[in-house]
Structures are given as C-alpha cells and as structure tokens.
Amino acid sequence: MLIYKSNHSETTKSQDVLQIQMKVDRMENNIVTPMEQQFGEVIDIILFHKNRASRAVNNELLLTAWHVGSYVSAKLKSEEWGSKVVTQLSEYIRSRRPDIKGYSRRSIYNMVMFYDEYSSETFSVTVEKYLNSEFVQPKTAQIEASMPKQGEAVIVQPRTAQIVPAASEQMPKILELTTLTNHMEILCRCKNNEERMFYILYANKEHLVKRELQRCISNQTYTALLGSKNNMSKGLLNTYPNAPIMFKDTLFVDFLNLPNKHSEAKLKNGLVEHMKQFILELGKDFIFMDQEYHLNIGSSTFKADLLFFHRGLQALVAVELKKTKFHPRDLGQLEFYLEALDRDVKRSNENPSIGIILCPEADRVVVEYAMSRSMSPTMIAEYKRILIPQERMQEQLNEFCNLFLNKE
C-alpha cells in the first residue's frame, strides 16, 4: 500500500508539474502571439511608408522628365535651339554638375519624347475613352488652380518654379502608375496610344520591372491578352467573367530552347526549372504548388501535370501539357481532374478549380465545338502567335480598363 501510495503521490506530482508547465506554455503563447502580431503591425507601418516614399520619388522623377522635356521641347519647336544645343546642354550639366546623372543627349531627347507624346491631345482622348477624366487632369482646372483669387495674397515663387512652364503642370495622372524607365520602354517600342496605355496599366497591375516589361512587349502580351476568347468554355466565362482579360491565349516558352520534336516530360521539366519565367508569362497572381500532382480516385492514381493557385481568383489552376495538336479528348481528361480537385483538394473558402490545356496548336473550329457545351471552367492556350482583329482588341482593352478601375 505504501508503495502504491508513493507511486500515486509521485504520479500526482508529475501530473501537477505537467499541468503547471502547460499553463506556463499557454501563458507564454498568449504573450508571444500578441507581440508577434504587434511586431507585424510595425512592419506593415514601415512598408506602408516605404511604398509611399518610393511612389513619391517616382513621381518626382516623372515630373522632372516632364518639366525638362517641356522646356527643351519648346526651345526646339521655336527653333531657338537645335540638336547641337541639346548636346551642349548635356555636356554643360556633366561638367558643371557631375553629381547630376542621367542627362546624356539621348536621355534629354527621351524626356522630350516623354513630354511630346504624353501631352498630346490624342493620348488624352484615348485615356479618357477607356478610363475616365481622373487620369487626365483637365486644363481648365489647372489654370483656375494656378490663378490667385481676388483678395488672396500672391506668393512670389522662387526662380526655379518660375522657369517651369505652366503647361508642364498638366502631366496626366495615369503616368504615375509606373516608372520613368518603363515609360521609356513603352514609348520606344509601342506605336499607338491604346497599346501604350495598356502596358502602363499592365506594368502597374503586375508590378513589372524593366526587364519583365521588355519580355511582355516582345511576346506581344497586348495581343495575347486582348485577343479572341473562343478558346474559353462557357463554364469559365460564367464563373469568372473577368477571365478574358486575366488569361492569355498565347504563351511563349522560348526560354526553354526546346527542339522542334520534344516530349511532354521535357516540356514539363523545363517549365518547372524555369518557373519564374513561366509565371511571368502566366501572370504574377499564379503561385506554383506542385508538378505531377497525385489525385487518388477509387483504386487509381492520376497525375495533373502542373498545379497552381491563383491569388486573385482564389482558385486552383491545373495546367495540362500537350506536345501535339489539341484533341477534344484532352478536354475530357482535364474536366475529370477538375472534378477531383473540387471534391478532394479545394477548400470551402475557395472558388471552383480552373483547367488550362497548353498545346502547340489548336484548330479554332474544333476548339469552339469542344468549348460550346463545356460547363467546367476550362480553356485552351497555345504557344504560337495569333493575329487578332483590331476591333476585338479595342473591345477587350475596354474590358481590361474597366477591371483596372474596379480593382481595390
């Protein structure tokens, strides 16, 4: 009995010690969790102001280019200056103020182009057509704002402020959406205002840096994203109305250096190895989850080639790779995978899964027939260029701009 009591007593003590330790752990957890949350809030504050500072710096760089471009443009148009004077200006800045960088002869002419192209009435009309007047500051409002009211004290501006022409204050607000470096790339490589406006919005939406933007322009994202959407099922269009301006119908995998004849495994392995470039092609909202994702159905196991998650749509996206021309049976396989994902993988707070078949070629008529009765959210994407009617692109550009205006 004594032994039993002793064991019982030791057991009780052990339980008490365990309970005390658990209470201490809970107390520590209750302290740590709020502290981590508070630390996270401090980080959020830092990032918020850091982003504001970055935007402020970018806006000043844009205004500098706008003002310099306006000044030099006026001198050139009045024939008071010639090209030799611009060269002399560049050399003067470099010799007198070596601390001021970025004002080579070419850079100054780029600033003139920046001002001339974006201050044009045709550009303003294009922006107002697809967006609204908020993105183009009205001239009358600026003139009225710059004139002192009766009885109001007139503040004498410093010499620098007096030099800046009044017209240069009319920089369209849309230009603030991306960097000066990106603007130069867009102006030099895009020839019409609609295409330029698209890439300004797209660079802002996807947070593109110069090299990423260069690739998007080279790969004709404008035409690939705004083209015909007969390659999308009714299920995709009904479930995700914005799908036509969120998914490209043409993807470029030139970074893989694939030979003309290649296996699906080589294509898949190459995409996984170069996932960063592939996600840039798809869109930055895509998060890669796995390759050959196992779907256990009944006593069989199936494998989805590539599985992604789309942050904007809050949905799983399965990508099936094909090395041959699209065949309707490919769609049946993909729909089978989507059913399995929705039943067994999708979480309750997520939207229906989306399926994409990526193939080198697809007959448009066959695709239209295959898509016409499909109620699953599916689409066919090719990796080759497709010519797109200008009227359809304008319609899709209008939809893209509406999506941009309605974003948070």
**pLDDT(50) > 50:** yes
Q: Of 324 and 145, which is predicted with more confidence?
A: 324
- Residue 67 forms part of a structural domain: no
Q: What's the pLDDT band for 401 if we cut at 50, 70, 90?
A: confident
Other beta carbons within 10 angstroms of residue 239's beta carbon come to 17
Q: Looking at residue 378, what is its pLDDT?
A: 95
CA–CA gap between residue 24 and residue 26 (Å, rounded)? 5
CB distance 243 to 379 below 8 Å: yes
Q: Of 113 and 35, which is predicted with more confidence?
A: 113
**pLDDT(67) > 90:** yes
The tens digit of pLDDT for each residue in 362-389 reads: 888 899 899 888 899 999 998 753 345 5
CA–CA gap between residue 102 and residue 100 (Å, rounded)? 7
Q: Looking at residue 265, what is its pLDDT?
A: 86
- Strands 286-297, 300-310: pairing is antiparallel
Q: Looking at residue 277, what is its pLDDT?
A: 84
Other beta carbons within 10 angstroms of residue 405's beta carbon come to 13
**pLDDT(329) > 50:** yes
How many domains does the chain divide into?
Answer: 1
Q: Of 250 and 395, which is predicted with more confidence?
A: 250
Q: CA torsion, points 193, 197, 202, 208, in degrees to nearest 10?
A: 80
Q: Looking at residue 252, what is its pLDDT?
A: 80
Mean pLDDT of all residues in 262-271: 86
Percent of the chain with pLDDT over 90: 48
**The length of the chain, given as a count of residues:** 408
Q: Of 142 and 348, which is predicted with more confidence?
A: 348
The tens digit of pLDDT for each residue in 99-129 reads: 999 999 999 999 999 999 999 999 999 999 8
- Residue 219 forms part of a structural domain: no
- Residue 55 forms part of a structural domain: no
What is the spatial order of strands in the sheet that 378-382 belongs to?
286-297, 300-310, 315-321, 351-359, 378-382
Q: Looking at residue 160, what is its pLDDT?
A: 53
Q: Looking at residue 9, what is its pLDDT?
A: 45
SS3 232: strand
249: which residues sit within 8 A by CB, 6+ positions away? Answer: 224, 227, 228, 229, 231, 379, 380, 381, 382, 386
- Residue 283 forms part of a structural domain: yes
- Residue 406 forms part of a structural domain: no
- Residue 245 forms part of a structural domain: yes
Q: What's the pLDDT band for 84 if we cut at 50, 70, 90?
A: very high
CB distance 199 to 217 below 8 Å: yes
Q: Is the dihedral of CA 107, 112, 114, 117 positive or negative?
A: negative
Q: What's the pLDDT band for 391 if we cut at 50, 70, 90?
A: low
The tens digit of pLDDT for each residue in 4-32 reads: 334 444 444 455 544 545 444 544 444 44
Query: Residue 237 to residues 321, 393, 397: CA-CA distances in angstroms?
Result: 22, 18, 17
**pLDDT(54) > 60:** yes
Mean pLDDT of all residues in 44-72: 92
CB distance 30 to 22 below 8 Å: no
Owning domain of residue 331: 228-387
- Residue 381 forms part of a structural domain: yes
CA–CA gap between residue 294 and residue 258 (Å, rounded)? 26
Mean pLDDT of all residues in 35-57: 87
Secondary structure of 79-147 as H, E, C letters: CCCCHHHHHHHHHHHHHHCCCCCCCCHHHHHHHHHHHHHHCCHHHHHHHHHHCCHHHCCCHHHHHHHHC
**pLDDT(320) > 60:** yes
342: which residues sit within 8 A by CB, 6+ positions away? Answer: 352, 353
The tens digit of pLDDT for each residue in 292-312 reads: 999 999 999 999 999 999 999
Q: What is the CATH number of the domain that holds 248?
A: 3.40.1350.10
Mean pLDDT of all residues in 25-44: 67
Q: Of 164 and 104, which is predicted with more confidence?
A: 104
Measured at the alpha carbon of residue 350, what is the angle toward residues 345 and 352, in degrees to the nearest 5? Answer: 75
Average confidence score pLDDT of the chain: 82
CB distance 251 to 358 below 8 Å: yes
